[in-house]
A and B are shown apart, each in its own frame.
Chain A
Amino acid sequence: MSTRESAPGSTGGADVPGPLHGGPDDDYTPEQLATLSREELDLLGARYDDVQVLHVDPGPEPGSSVERQAVRQVALTFGLAGLAAFAAFVIYVGSGWFLPDWQWTITEGGWSAIFTPMIGALGGLALILVGVGMVVYTKKLLPHETAVQDKHDGSHFDRVTTGATLVGGLHNSGLARRKLITRSLVFMGGGVGLMLLMPLGGLIRNPNTGNPLGTTSWGEGVRLLRDDGSPIRPGDQQPGSLETVFPEVPGGNRESDAATMLIRLRPEQVQVDRPRTGQEEFGYGDYVAYSKICTHAGCPVSLYEQETSRILCPCHQSQFDVTQGAKPVFGPATRPLPQLPITVDDEGFFVARSDYIEAVGPTYWNRERI
């Protein structure tokens, strides 16, 4: 360390002990503390933290049979934990090296099917045993003490002095008097706050442009295609059958609201079929087409019971009757499934006569207005 102390900031750097924290350090000099034993120091420190150790139940006597037994237990637990951990490590690293490959193959059993269970079982066992060992150690080998710590309510002194500082600062700022500044602050705060939130506006988009909720890709002359893209003739389905069909547009079988159920009714069903008013002509012969998207929460309904004519939604168990215009007969759905008007084109394939005449899928606020 240099003795030249001319440069600013270099003074005061002398390495002499300064006053420590006050408080306990004033009460107990290093010399006094040096005379205390470790236990006494521990209790002394605790007392400063409002903790009083009432009673210590020492651990088992060194060398006693109780201690030896506990030590054996703990060592055994940790030993087993290590063993399991190493085994897990060996299986993890060794698979595909000197053990069979862990890569999954379609199999009814074998190494790749038990690789994950073994990692889990051994890894889990190792971790649990580590925990158990620690707890057993704590319970059986550490001294048990009963300590009492005092709780303190808030200090009146602290409240009053802190309050004084806060109010004093506010008072000195003069904001209470300088109304103009207060007002401009409010104005500024509002403006800056809005400005900072402004970018969130990028999230907002108009849901009513082009009525995306009320329309689908279906339209006049759009063919009904199977998932594989093939069109359907009236002879293709058996009575009592259901086929999920999609509009013949690019990506039609991935659209979230276009999926439609093409159902061929059985003769008995045709006899009792009562379509919704104004939609009597929407079917074609014994074929009817209903939206597959539930009017309740948008799940694909397609649990078709051909004998009872019911369509069940697997999400919330709304039930629709296809012979009554797919009106809901049970559960939380309120509206019938929209019906797609269908006919057959010149080549003999099913086509839609128009888009759905109402919005498909779940109800929303202004659905009826569109």
Chain B
Amino acid sequence: MSTTNPQSDAPSDEGAPRGLRRWSRRPADGSPAAAARARRRSKHRRRVANVAGLMAALVLTGTLYSALSPAQATEESGATESSAEAAGRELYERSCITCHGENLEGVPTRGPSLIGVGEAAVYFQVHTGRMPLVRQEAQAPDKPAVFSDEEIDQLMAYVQANGGGPTLPSGDLREGDLTEGGELFRLNCASCHNFVGEGGALSSGKRAPSLEDANDLEIYTAMLSGPENMPVFGDNQLTPEEKRAIVNYVQTIKAQADPGGAGIGRIGPVAEGVVIWVVGVAALLFGIFWMGSKA
């Protein structure tokens, strides 16, 4: 499963009908982008730097796993475990094994298999604090992360080594066209996450979370891994460039001030209706009470 499709699958640009806007689709590249660009969000920049270093060590292994069946990979990996993987195994056996099983195979009714989810999924789930789970409910809520960044790296290394799957991206995650990102966001993401990522309700108590606190890598890995009910957006569906465009759009809009005054949650008519009654009508009622009172 996972990113097993060879990159040559990416279709070329032929046969574009009429006025559709096109943009080139490049295969995913693992090469780290210019380090000079990596300075925007200091905390997560560091994360990405860590990950990039880690990646270099893992590139070969990763390629190998993507060719082999994950189950086989699990068996083989035991012998040549790096120190990060060993630390990750320790963390895994302490915090994750109850629900995800001894060999990442998952436990029925408790937790899904982690084979093939890759470090991207681990990063998203653990860094947003969704995992480890406190209790089973409709949906894992995000909360402060339990593990440190270093521990997350170790967990990622362990799961990647033993289960395989999508890896973390590198370089500037906002290196994409803003307008294109907006268009893709409205087509693929807004239906659940609202126009500007405020989040929205899903069926029966589930919900698409707000992207307010999400960092670049979390948004990126969420698209890549499709956590819980979110559909997966593999690299052949949304290319890394398109994902970066979406990340760029989300983060730009989030940071952008509201030119028209208070944003009132940027959710539109519901908030506006509350304001006109609670502020507008109330102020005017107060005004006419005062006008009607005796001097």
User: Are A and B in direct contact (Cβ within 8 Å)?
Assistant: yes
Segment at the B interface, from A19-27, A110-118, A200-208: A110-118
8 Å CB contact of B228 from A237, A307, A319: A307
A251 to B1, CA, bound (A): 35
Segment at the A interface, from B42-50, B69-77, B211-219, B256-264: B256-264
Q: Is the CB of A238 within 8 A of B261?
A: no
Please name all residues of chain A whose beta carbon is closer than 8 Å to the beta carbon of B206 when the two chains form the complex. Answer: 305, 308
Q: Is the CB of A233 within 8 A of B226?
A: no
Contact with B along A293-318 (1 / 0, CB 8 A): 00000001011111110101010010
Q: Is the CB of A228 within 8 A of B23?
A: yes
A243 to B191, CA, bound (A): 13
Segment at the B interface, from A83-91, A101-109, A172-180: A101-109
Q: Is the CB of B25 within 8 A of A230?
A: yes
Q: Is the CB of B16 within 8 A of A229?
A: yes
Chain B residue with the shortest CB-CB distance to A131: B287
Chain B residue with the shortest CB-CB distance to A106: B256
Q: Is the CB of A300 within 8 A of B22?
A: no
Please name all residues of chain B whose beta carbon is closer than 8 Å to the beta carbon of A135 when the two chains form the complex. Answer: 290-291
Q: Indicate whether B231 reaches chain A with its CB closer than 8 angstroms.
A: yes
Q: Indicate whether B21 reaches chain A with its CB closer than 8 angstroms.
A: yes
8 Å CB contact of B255 from A108, A236, A249: A108
Q: Is the CB of B237 within 8 A of A241?
A: yes
Please name all residues of chain A whose beta carbon is closer than 8 Å to the beta carbon of B228 when the two chains form the complex. Answer: 307
Q: Is the CB of B231 within 8 A of A108?
A: no
What is the CB-to-nearest-CB distance from B229 to chain A, in angstroms, rounded to a whole number? 4
Chain B residue with the shortest CB-CB distance to A141: B295
Contact with A along B223-260 (1 / 0, CB 8 A): 00010111111101100000000000000100111111
Chain B residue with the shortest CB-CB distance to A307: B229
**A residues 110-149 touching B (CB-CB < 8 Å):** 110, 112-113, 115-117, 120, 131, 135, 139-140, 144
8 Å CB contact of B229 from A115, A239, A305: A305
**Central interface residue in A109, A140, A243, A244, by most chain B CB within 10 Å:** A243
Q: Is the CB of B230 within 8 A of A330?
A: no
Q: Is the CB of B17 within 8 A of A238?
A: no
Contact with B along A139-171 (1 / 0, CB 8 A): 110001000000000000000000000000000
Please name all residues of chain B whose beta carbon is closer than 8 Å to the beta carbon of A308 when the two chains form the complex. Answer: 203-204, 206, 229
A233 to B200, CA, bound (A): 31
Please name all residues of chain B whose beta carbon is closer than 8 Å to the beta carbon of A116 when the two chains form the complex. Answer: 259-261
Please name all residues of chain A whose beta carbon is closer than 8 Å to the beta carbon of B191 when the two chains form the complex. Answer: 300, 302-303, 314
Q: Is the CB of A242 within 8 A of B20?
A: no
Please name all residues of chain A whose beta carbon is closer than 8 Å to the beta carbon of B261 when the two chains form the complex. Answer: 116-117, 120
What is the CB-to-nearest-CB distance from B55 to chain A, in angstroms, rounded to a whole number? 21
Contact with A along B4-36 (1 / 0, CB 8 A): 010001010101111111110100000000000
Contact with A along B179-196 (1 / 0, CB 8 A): 000011001100110000
Q: Indicate whether A257 reaches chain B with its CB closer than 8 angstroms.
A: no
Q: Indicate whether B68 reaches chain A with its CB closer than 8 angstroms.
A: no
Q: Indicate whether B274 reaches chain A with its CB closer than 8 angstroms.
A: no
Q: Is the CB of A238 within 8 A of B226?
A: yes
Please name all residues of chain B whose beta carbon is closer than 8 Å to the beta carbon of A139 when the two chains form the complex. Answer: 291, 294-295
8 Å CB contact of B203 from A225, A228, A310: A310
8 Å CB contact of A231 from B15, B188, B203: B15
Q: Is the CB of A236 within 8 A of B17?
A: no
Chain B residue with the shortest CB-CB distance to A248: B17
Q: Is the CB of A306 within 8 A of B17?
A: no
Q: Is the CB of A303 within 8 A of B192?
A: yes
What is the CB-to-nearest-CB distance from A177 to chain B, in angstroms, rounded to a whole number? 59
A243 to B233, CA, bound (A): 9
What is the CB-to-nearest-CB distance from B137 to chain A, in angstroms, rounded to a whole number? 13
Please name all residues of chain A whose beta carbon is closer than 8 Å to the beta carbon of B231 when the two chains form the complex. Answer: 240-242, 304, 306
Q: Indicate whether A227 reaches chain B with its CB closer than 8 angstroms.
A: yes
What is the CB-to-nearest-CB distance from A186 to chain B, in angstroms, rounded to a whole number? 50
Q: Indicate whether B202 reaches chain A with its CB closer than 8 angstroms.
A: yes
Q: Is the CB of A241 within 8 A of B257?
A: no
Please name all residues of chain B whose beta carbon is closer than 8 Å to the beta carbon of A233 when the two chains form the complex. Answer: 9, 11, 236
Please name all residues of chain B whose beta carbon is closer than 8 Å to the beta carbon of A8 when the two chains form the complex. Answer: none
Chain A residue with the shortest CB-CB distance to B10: A236
Q: Is the CB of B19 within 8 A of A251?
A: yes
Q: Indicate whether A12 reaches chain B with its CB closer than 8 angstroms.
A: no
Q: Indicate whether A349 reaches chain B with its CB closer than 8 angstroms.
A: yes
Q: Indicate whether A341 reaches chain B with its CB closer than 8 angstroms.
A: no
Please name all residues of chain B whose beta carbon is closer than 8 Å to the beta carbon of A303 when the two chains form the complex. Answer: 191-192, 200, 202, 208
What is the CB-to-nearest-CB distance from B54 to chain A, in angstroms, rounded to a whole number? 23
Q: Is the CB of A225 within 8 A of B17?
A: yes
A244 to B185, CA, bound (A): 12
For the complex of A and B, 8 pairs with smallest distance between CB atoms: A113-B257, A305-B229, A229-B20, A238-B232, A238-B234, A139-B295, A236-B236, A250-B18
Contacts A115-B259, A250-B17 aside, 7 further interface pairs with beta carbons under 8 A come to A116-B260, A140-B295, A233-B11, A235-B9, A239-B1, A239-B232, A248-B17
A/B interface sample: 9 pairs, CB < 8 A: A113-B258, A116-B261, A131-B287, A227-B20, A228-B23, A240-B231, A244-B187, A305-B202, A312-B203
